[in-house]
Amino acid sequence: MWKDQTLNFKTIVMKKIFIPRLFIIFIASAILLSCSKENLSAPNSGETTGGTKTIPVYNYGGISGRLTPVPTYAALKVYNDEENFATNGSPDMNGNFTIPNLMPATYRMVVIYIPAGAPPNSEYSYYERRGIVVEAGVVTQLGDIILTPQ
């Protein structure tokens, strides 16, 4: 009698617990094997079919020059009005400046400065240059920019 009950208990345990767990493990492993990282990620314009990312290559240009006489303080702002883009720069202690990584376009540059030798609490002066053409892979040399006290 006990032998029949033990056999029934083992049969019930096998049918109700072990077989469903085995089925769940089988389904989960089939899903994991059929999916890969490449298939789960959404492709975008910068990705190839092999899963490697391609980086667009831009030939940037730049603007370079020298502020003279070297101002006490200066800040440069470069604008591309067509693209609604602006970036900042500042000269070194000798007045030299380079503004790198500019897309090929036409720019304007504004220099806000305090002239050399100006008394304390002096007002800022402004210099603006328009029509600066930046070409791909080329740093446009502006040469000496003469800042006049105003």
pLDDT at residue number 42: 46
| pLDDT per residue as tens, the chain (150 positions) | 555 555 566 666 566 676 777 777 777 777 766 665 444 444 444 444 555 666 666 789 999 999 999 998 999 999 998 989 999 999 999 999 999 999 999 999 999 999 888 888 888 999 999 999 999 999 999 999 999 876
Strands 73-80 and 105-114: antiparallel
pLDDT at residue number 66: 96
Cα–Cα distance measured from residue 104 to residue 61, given in angstroms and rounded to the nearest whole number: 6
pLDDT at residue number 47: 46
CB 119 within 8 A of CB 130: no
Nearest Cα to Cα of residue 100 among 119, 115, 87: 87
Cα–Cα distance measured from residue 138 to residue 60, given in angstroms and rounded to the nearest whole number: 8
pLDDT at residue number 133: 96
CB 140 within 8 A of CB 60: no
Q: What CATH architecture is 61-146?
A: Sandwich (2.60)
Instruction: Return residue ranges of the chain for CATH 2.60.40.10.
Output: 61-146
pLDDT at residue number 54: 64
Nearest Cα to Cα of residue 39 among 30, 49, 29: 49
pTM tops 0.85: no
Cα–Cα distance measured from residue 149 to residue 36, given in angstroms and rounded to the nearest whole number: 67
CB 126 within 8 A of CB 142: no
